[in-house]
Amino acid sequence: MDVIIRPTAAEAEELTARMIADAINAKPEFRLGLATGATMENVYANLSKMNKAGKVDFSQVRTWNLDEYVGLPPEHDQSYRYYMNKNLFNNINIDIRNTHLPDGMAADEVAEAERYDDSIEEAGGIDLWLVGIGCSGHVGFNDPGTSFSSRTHVAYLTNTTYEQNKIYFNPPESMPRRAFTAGVGTVLDAKKVVQLITGKRKAGIAAAAIEGPMTAMISSSALQLHPDTVVILDAEAAAQLKLRDFYDEVFMNDPKWEAYR
Ligand code: PGA
Per-residue pLDDT for the chain (261 aa), expressed as one digit of tens each?
Answer: 999 999 999 999 999 999 999 999 999 999 999 999 999 999 999 999 999 999 999 999 999 999 999 999 999 999 999 999 999 999 999 999 999 999 999 999 999 999 999 999 999 999 999 999 999 999 999 999 999 999 999 999 999 999 999 999 999 999 999 999 999 999 999 999 999 999 999 999 999 999 999 999 999 999 999 999 999 999 999 999 999 999 999 999 999 999 999
SS3 at position 227: coil
The pLDDT, as a whole number, for residue 239 is: 98
- Ligand 1 center to 152 CA (angstroms): 19
Ligand 1 touching residue 219 (CB < 6 A): no
Ligand 1: residue whose CA is nearest its atom 8: 134
Ligand 1 touching residue 92 (CB < 6 A): no
Are 67 and 141 contacting, i.e. CB atoms less than 8 angstroms apart? Answer: yes
Q: What is the phi-psi region of residue 124: left when phi exceeds 0, alpha when psi lies from -120 to 50, beta otherwise?
A: left
Mutate to test the pocket of ligand 1, among 13, 133, 197 (most ligand atoms within 8 A of CB): 133
- Ligand 1 center to 115 CA (angstroms): 25
- Ligand 1 center to 132 CA (angstroms): 6
| CA distance from start to end of the chain | 18
- Ligand 1 center to 38 CA (angstroms): 6
Q: How far apart, in whole angstroms, are the C-alpha atoms of residue 163 and residue 115?
A: 30
Question: How does DSSP assign 30-79, residue by residue?
Answer: -EEEE--SGGGHHHHHHHHHHHHTTS---TT-EEEESEEETT--TTSTTS
Q: Give the phi and the psi of residue 56 in degrees, each rounded to 5.
A: -155, 140
Strands annotated E in the chain: 2-6, 31-34, 62-65, 67-69, 99-100, 128-131, 153-156, 178-181, 192-197, 229-234
The pLDDT, as a whole number, for residue 15 is: 98
Any alpha helices (H) in 53-153, and if so which ranges? 80-87, 109-122
Which amino acid, residue 174? S
Mutate to test the pocket of ligand 1, among 84, 87, 162, 164 (most ligand atoms within 8 A of CB): 164
The pLDDT, as a whole number, for residue 245 is: 98
- All structural domains of the chain with their residue ranges: 2-252
Tell the burial category of 103 from Cβ atoms under 10 Å away from its Cβ (0-12, 13-18, 19+): middle
The pLDDT, as a whole number, for residue 223 is: 98
- Ligand 1 center to 37 CA (angstroms): 4
- Ligand 1 center to 130 CA (angstroms): 12
The pLDDT, as a whole number, for residue 150 is: 98
The pLDDT, as a whole number, for residue 82 is: 98
- Centroid of chain to Cα 137: 13
Q: At what angle do helices 41-52 and 80-87 cross, to 10 degrees?
A: 40
Measured from the CA of 35, which atom of ligand 1 is nearest?
9
Q: How many CB atoms lie within 10 A of CB 204?
A: 14
Does residue 171 have a cis peptide bond before it, meaning omega lies within 30 degrees of 0?
Answer: yes
Q: How far apart, in whole angstroms, are the C-alpha atoms of residue 36 and residue 83?
A: 7
Q: 2-252 adopts what CATH topology?
A: Rossmann fold (3.40.50)
Ligand 1: residue whose CA is nearest its atom 7: 134
Any alpha helices (H) in 126-243, and if so which ranges? 159-165, 184-188, 203-211
SS3 at position 87: helix
